[in-house]
């Protein structure tokens, strides 16, 4: 499995990916799922991948080959980030189709984000079908792979005015919730921080499992969540007889009856 | 969709369920998914349901009818909670099979927990196939329906020695994370608190959307999570050139190259 996410805030773009792949539970491997393209000062793209590894590797290889051989379109010549997403989607469909005759699911999803001189940064999620959606001010993050465990913290923290560094930290916390609950998502965790108009991808970070900052963050977040939990106001959880005078309490059944119950 | 969970700790059993059902996004309804059976002082069962609503209603109706008509086995005569789970699984398979010819997914899952005089409490998850697993000291909680969003907090908080009231609070928090991230899971939230050897189900609580305690809990948890997040130690997220002297920092790419990157 995989967990990748990307965030588009006013300050720029943020990408994060895990590095664990599995073909059955007895075949775990480590592969990077973050790839960069572009020319400093002119255009930059970061691509995150999820799904069938043969498909994603073929697509990334195809993107690289098209640039090397000058095939049109390629990521060095597309006019917009949307055009790049459209092109990536077409390559993905093509690669999936080559091997889709068997029983194996060859589908793959991608997040592509970046900036081309003269236009604002853009973030797109390319579906297995080749079509895509872009992040907006209202929905500033996109996820692919095992997306559910890490979604609640993003929903709470990420807004379009969240500073880029805070978005990066939130991505790490989201990744931590996912790696704790799903054994097929794991380190190294890669993070790419891109500030608008920088047109340079020099803030790429790789956190291995024993990275001191990541280890400390996991412990600190766990401790703080537990602290936050202990600080919540307790409910009485007493039978309704004992709470007759408690106006705030919920009403409850007095005793069980066969298959019946009374709610307020 | 649905989210139900149950927890087995040393002090007893805890059940929680949402009440939203949907048949397509334009057909949202409210149905309780928590049902109780038994005879005070002798045996008590709580059943939570997920999946096809026609199937779960048919199964609950069947359980009630078998008791009323004295058909053997029934929940008033089964010898153990495992026997009850086995019997529930058989009824579920039977009801699913009746209508499985069409294109509709008739499958359903159940959590059944309770206690029969002379034996300890037990908690079982009955799969659509009719087989079941029971909660253990190592895995003290079971979930059905939309299980992922609410799992991280359970993994952090719930242990076999967690007090029953804390388990109930954690279930509400887990439910809150789920209702925030998935629109097809929603209130009223029902909670049943059962202390070992009580053999009575008089702690049944229904929290409606505007319940003052639930509203306060949601706000408090959101605020505390955000506070916890702001208290985390920040990472520099600076390009590697600027961090040459920072021994704790991760190495990063200096500049993007076409499709290539160097990790440490």
Note whether B255 contacts A211, CB cutoff 8 Å: no
Which chain A residues are Cβ-neighbours of B202 within 8 angstroms?
239-241, 252-256
Whether A243 has its CB under 8 Å from any CB of chain B: the answer is no
Question: Using N-to-C axis directions, what is the helix angle for B212-230 and A212-230, rounded to 10°?
Answer: 150
Note whether A250 contacts B180, CB cutoff 8 Å: no
User: What is the pLDDT averaged over residues B113-122?
Assistant: 98
pTM over 0.80: yes
Which chain B residues are Cβ-neighbours of A205 within 8 angstroms?
235, 237, 249-250, 252
Q: Looking up tokens 């709580």, which residue turns up?
A: B46
| A196-207 confidence digits (pLDDT tens) | 999 999 999 999
Chain B interface, best mutation among A204, A238, A240, by max B CB count within 10 A: A204
Which chain A residues are Cβ-neighbours of B112 within 8 angstroms?
none
User: What is the pLDDT averaged over residues B167-181?
Assistant: 95
Q: Rounded to whole angstroms, what are the CA distances from B48 to A14, B57, B150? A: 41, 11, 17
Answer with the residue of higher pLDDT: A79 or B242. Answer: A79
CB pairs under 8 A between A and B: 233
Whether B264 has its CB under 8 Å from any CB of chain A: the answer is yes
Q: Please check whether residue B76 is in contact with residue B68, taking contact to mean a CB–CB distance below 8 angstroms.
A: no
Whether A216 has its CB under 8 Å from any CB of chain B: the answer is yes
Whether A198 has its CB under 8 Å from any CB of chain B: the answer is no
Q: What is the value of ipTM here, to two decimals?
A: 0.86
* Residue A28 CB coordination number (10 Å): 14
Smallest Cα distance from B177 to chain A, Å = 6
Structure tokens at A66: 């098209």
Structure tokens at B5: 């969970």
Q: CA of B255: which chain A residue's CA is closest?
A: A202
Q: Please check whether residue A196 is in contact with residue A30, taking contact to mean a CB–CB distance below 8 angstroms.
A: no
| A118-158 confidence digits (pLDDT tens) | 999 999 999 999 999 999 999 999 999 999 999 999 999 99
| A13-35 confidence digits (pLDDT tens) | 999 999 998 877 778 889 999 99
* CB nearest A252 (choices: B181, B202, B229): B202
Distance between CA B216 and CA B211 in Å, rounded?
9
Which chain A residues are Cβ-neighbours of B259 within 8 angstroms?
35-37, 60, 63-64, 67
Note whether A256 contacts B38, CB cutoff 8 Å: yes
Chain A interface, best mutation among B37, B216, B259, by max A CB count within 10 A: B259
| B185-239 confidence digits (pLDDT tens) | 899 999 999 999 999 999 999 999 999 999 999 999 999 999 999 999 999 999 8
Length of chain B equals 264
Chain B interface, best mutation among A70, A164, A258, by max B CB count within 10 A: A258
Whether B88 has its CB under 8 Å from any CB of chain A: the answer is no
What is the greatest pairwise CA distance in chain A?
80
């Amino acid at each position: 499995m995989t967990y990748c996410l990307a965030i588009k805030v006013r300050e720029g773009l943020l990408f994060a990916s895990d590095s664990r792949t599995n073909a059955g539970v007895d075949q775990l491997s480590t592969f990077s799922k973050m790839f960069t393209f572009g020319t400093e000062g002119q255009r930059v793209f970061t691509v995150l991948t999820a799904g069938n590894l043969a498909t994603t590797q073929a697509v990334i290889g195809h993107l690289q080959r098209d640039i090397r051989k000058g095939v049109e379109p390629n990521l060095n010549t597309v006019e917009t980030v949307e055009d790049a997403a459209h092109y990536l989607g077409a390559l993905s469909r093509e690669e999936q189709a080559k091997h889709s005759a068997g029983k194996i699911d060859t589908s793959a999803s991608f997040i592509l984000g970046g900036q081309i001189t003269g236009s604002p940064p853009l973030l797109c999620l390319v579906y297995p079908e080749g079509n895509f959606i872009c992040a907006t001010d209202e929905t500033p993050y996109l996820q692919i792979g095992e997306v559910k465990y890490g979604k609640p913290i993003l929903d709470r923290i990420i807004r379009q005015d969240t500073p880029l560094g805070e978005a990066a930290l939130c991505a790490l916390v989201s990744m931590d919730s996912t790696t704790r609950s799903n054994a097929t998502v794991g380190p190294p965790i890669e993070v790419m921080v891109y500030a608008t108009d920088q047109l340079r991808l020099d803030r790429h970070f790789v956190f291995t499992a024993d990275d001191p900052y990541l280890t400390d963050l996991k412990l600190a977040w766990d401790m703080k969540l537990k602290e936050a939990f202990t600080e919540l106001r307790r409910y009485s959880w007493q039978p309704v007889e004992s709470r007759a005078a408690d106006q705030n309490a919920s009403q409850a059944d007095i005793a069980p009856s066969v298959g019946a119950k009374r709610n307020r």
